[in-house]
Structure 1
Amino acid sequence: MSGVELVVAALAAGASAGLTETVSSAVRDAYGALRESVLRRLPGRGEELLDAEQVEPGVWEARLREELTASGADRDQELLAAAEDLLTLLPSGSKYQVDARGAKGVQTGDHNIQTNNYG
């Protein structure tokens, strides 16, 4: 993943995580720090790009990727570090994180019913 892709992925993940009520203050703070880094990197256009709620996600990401690439964001160590910090705080794309090594009869999900017969 390139530096610009890392930043765009972190912004998208942080924005969607921010829509939930259960997001931690650490995630909110990391997302805010990343937004501030992007705004410093893209003066004038950054806020318009980051707050474009009416734009389809694919279009938003393409525009942001283009602006970040043109600005040299892939070489901005502060910006890249802020994106990495945010991504380390977010779950890795799954609602559940399960380590089931050696387990029997494991089930993940919501509202499940399970019957185990060991014999």
Structure 2
Amino acid sequence: MDLIIAALVAGAAAAAKDTAEKSIKEAYERLKELIKKRFADNEAAKVVLDEHEKDPQTYEAALKKKLTEAGVDRDEEIKKVAQEVMKKEDPQGAAAGKYDLRGSQGVQIGDSNTQNNTFK
């Protein structure tokens, strides 16, 4: 889920800049489009997604809830497009494998995080 949220935040920030590359903006729009399809019958979720774009901090928890309810975190196409956004926004991090989640469990995106997991 963190990858998807990070891609939405990075994509929104990039899209707001006049200097952002067209490819980043296109990947971000594709990500939003895929998520909105998952939210097809849930207008409240679509509103949260739109509001998150304007104010990520305020709407992050609500968006995570809506994404989880819609199963977005299990959608391979959405995860792939989120990775694409991050690769375009942070090529160095992508080259270091920061956004490659194949075979991963308990993933966090970002730096200086703390996480405790128990896998069975």
Normalised by the shorter chain, which TM-score bucket? 0.5 to 0.7
For the aligned residue pairs, the C-alpha RMSD in angstroms reads: 2.4
Matches within 5 A, 1:28-107: 28-43=25-40, 44-52=43-51, 56-91=55-90
Q: Identify the residue that residue 99 of structure 1 maps to in structure 2.
A: none
Structure holding more helix per residue: 2
The structure-2 alpha-carbon separation of the partners of 1:16 and 1:55, relative to structure 1 and needing over 3 Å to count, comes to: closer
- The residue type paired with residue 74 of structure 2 is R
TM-score normalised per structure 1:
0.67
Aligned residues: 91
Which sections of structure 2, spanning at least 5 residues, go unmatched? Answer: 93-120
CA shift for structure 1 position 92: 6.1
Q: Which has the larger radius of gyration?
A: 1
Q: Distance in 2 between matches of 1:62 and 1:50?
A: 11
Which sections of structure 1, spanning at least 5 residues, go unmatched? Answer: 94-119
Matched, 1:13 2:22: no
CA shift for structure 1 position 91: 2.9
- The residue type paired with residue 62 of structure 2 is R
Q: Distance in 1 between matches of 2:54 and 2:8?
A: 15
TM-score normalised per structure 2:
0.66
The structure-2 alpha-carbon separation of the partners of 1:54 and 1:38, relative to structure 1 and needing over 3 Å to count, comes to: closer
Q: Distance in 2 between matches of 1:11 and 1:69?
A: 15
The runs of at least 4 consecutive aligned structure 1 residues that moved more than 2 Å come to: 44-47, 53-59
SS of the equivalent of 1:18 reads helix
